[in-house]
Amino acid sequence: MKPATVALIAMIALTLLAAPAGATMTYYNSQSSWEAATSNVFTIDFNDVVVPTSPGYIDYSTTGLQLHDVTFTANPATADGIQVGNASPWCYANAFGAGNYFLCGNTYLAKYFEAALPANVMAVAMNLLPVTYANPVTLSFSSGDTQVVPALPNATPVFAGFVFDEPVSWVKFEADSNFTGMDNFAYSQITETPEVSTLLLAGAGLISLLFARRLRRFC
């Protein structure tokens, strides 16, 4: 087989290997299992927000709220979209422990709230507490994945954790009715490294150069 033909076959094979295999998401309902599968985790507990004693919450529906490179927004950006405190009129008071602040988001009908993430986030987790009828919460991600998180009775928060094989840039929270409380929003970032596809393409280029050099010797 001629060297030029070999080089062409090698380039085609490496290009096919470099094609994305498709993203996958792993869902964890156990906090310890999620923590074992992640590293470099930062947790937002909302206790850094300065909340007045009365009324015991702050409404960030129209302005959004940014905490440690994560921006929480309401859609639509109208009153009662997202609130932070421990005495929201729409979520259970002290739902995540007496004195602990949490985010209360409006998920009634077509309304939802969203968290915009920083770069290179490969895992997220949070505690959720839907208010009405223990309805499940649906989470959607920029990767195209969705997950329905079942609720627990008796106003008990439920843990939901996710790990991805490619970065995600946002997560959206929806529910069948009324409001959803959220606390301990955690995420894990990776140090940016060359993707496998980039390395494979670089290898294909090097092989092409080597074969081209050999061909010049035969000419």
The CA distance from 23 to 25, in Å, is 7
- pLDDT over 50 at 60, yes or no: yes
Q: Please list the helix, strand and coil fractions of the chain in percent, rounded to the nearest 5, in that order.
A: 20, 40, 40
User: Which tens digits make up the pLDDT trace of 159-206?
Assistant: 999 999 999 999 999 987 679 999 999 999 986 544 444 444 445 444
* pLDDT attached to residue 156: 85
- pLDDT over 70 at 158, yes or no: yes
Question: What is the pTM for the complete model shown?
Answer: 0.78
The CA distance from 57 to 105, in Å, is 12
The CA distance from 180 to 132, in Å, is 9
Which residue ranges form the domains of the chain, and what is each CATH number?
Answer: 25-191 (2.60.120)
User: Which tens digits make up the pLDDT trace of 6-41?
Assistant: 444 444 444 444 444 556 999 999 999 999 999 999
Element (H, E) at 139: strand 137-141
Element (H, E) at 27: strand 25-28
